[in-house]
Each structure stands twice: as structure tokens, then as C-alpha cells.
Amino acid sequence: MSHTHLFFDLDHTLWDTDRNAEESLLELFEELNLRKMGVPDFDSFHETYRNHNEKLWGLYAENKVGKEVVRTHRFRQTLFDFGIDNPEMTELLSREFIVRTPRKPHLIEGATELLEQLHGNYILAIITNGFPEAQHIKMKHSGLDKYFRQVIVSEEVGVHKPDLQIFRHAMTLTGATLAENCMMIGDTFQTDVLGALNAGLTAVHFAPKNSEEVHASPVITIRKLSELVLFLPDSKQSSGKQ
């Protein structure tokens, strides 16, 4: 099997979402003096936010909530958990977080080195369920934009991963004619891996935090981004050029 097109998820796969978000949250925690409002410490605030954020993103992927619900409720519910009912603070947190975080530059370890190796040998594209105004900023400020021919954002397409139509759309935009020549690399099994399999693509699960998680064939599991090249033996001979 010869792969010519590589599709990457963005958040948690190439762009270090956890580190970038944590930096913004710490800045806001200190600047807005949330401790004085009743939040005991940053670790508690951060963990509570992450739990709510993860749940809301799951609902968004299932089309059960919209973008604005994700953006505001993750902070509203976090503050509620500390006994704080303050709509103005909720709005301020939401607005500042959205402005600051996409401009953070941190990437997952090995991302730049991998893309330098792949760029020019494959057609590279991003497929993301993130919000378009944020995702394009992330690409620019992290330096990822120079590697990718297309940035395909679910909101702009009208369907989210794992809907096979977004993978079909990516193939059309990048000129891929055969699904078997395409590979999808992402950290979320439900959206990235199952979606890619349903569309007939090779699916790579990037699972750096769970060393025991190994999937049966045909799913490929990697712990580090550098491991991807082990499954691309044709990386130097690929006919897919940027």
C-alpha cells in the first residue's frame, strides 16, 4: 500500500492543546484574582475546567451542543463548582481565553521534525473539529501553516468527524482519488480513528498517554509522532508532492 496523502488532526496531535490552554488559564487565574473570588488554587481550577471542557467537546462532536455553549458553559460550570455565579466573569474568561490561547505556539514533541521529513514527500492536510477562527490562528502562530496544503475545519464543511463526508471532502480538496492511499493521524479514537476507518482510510491512533492501549489491525497505534515514519516505508519515494 502506497500512501500519498496524510491527514492530521490538529489539537492534541500536532498543536499542544494542554500546554497552550494551561498557559492561558494560569495567566487569567492570576490576572483576574480568582483565588480571591473563592477558587482555592490554580490546580483545582485547571482540573475542573478540563473536565467540563472535555465533556462539552464530546457533546459538540455529537452535534448535541453548539459552539457558543462550549465556549461559555465550560467556564460557567467551572465557576459554579466553586460556588461562583458571575455572568460577567464567565464572559470575560471565555473571551480572553479565546483570544489568547490560539496564539500560543507550543507543539507536541516531535511535530516539527516529523513534518520537515514528510513535507515534499506527501500531500499534507489538517482535518479538525475545532472552530475555524481559532484553528487558522493556531496554524499561523505555531508555524504549522507552511507544511499543509489544506486546513479542513468541520464548521466550514458542515459536518464533524467522524462523519465520513468530511474525509471524502478532504480527499476531493487534496486531489486524492483512492481512500487506500490516504492516512488519518489523530488522538481521538471515536472521531479520528473510527471516522477514518469508515471512510476507508488507513487510521493511526496517536496515544501518547496510554502505553497499554493497543488496537487490533487495521488500526495503527503510535506513542510518539516520530514513530509514524515506521509505517511509511515509501516516505522517500512517494509520488504525492506538495
- List, for residues 4-52, the tens digit of each pLDDT value: 999 999 999 999 999 999 999 999 999 999 999 999 999 999 999 999 9
Helix (H) or strand (E) holding 92: helix 87-100
Report if residue 79 sits inside a domain: yes
Domain that residue 216 falls in: 5-16+107-231
Tell me how far apart the alpha carbons of residues 18 and 153 are, in angstroms, rounded to a whole number: 20
Report the sign of the C-alpha dihedral through residues 38, 40, 46, 51, in that order. Answer: negative
Structural domains of the chain, count: 2
Residue 22 resides in a domain: yes
Give yes or no for a contact between 110 and 225, defined as CB atoms under 8 angstroms apart.
Answer: yes
Residue 163 and residue 197 share a domain: yes
Same domain for 50 and 12:
no
Over the stretch 64-102, which tens digit does the pLDDT of each residue have? 999 899 999 999 999 999 999 999 999 999 999 999 999
What pTM was estimated for this model as a whole?
A: 0.89
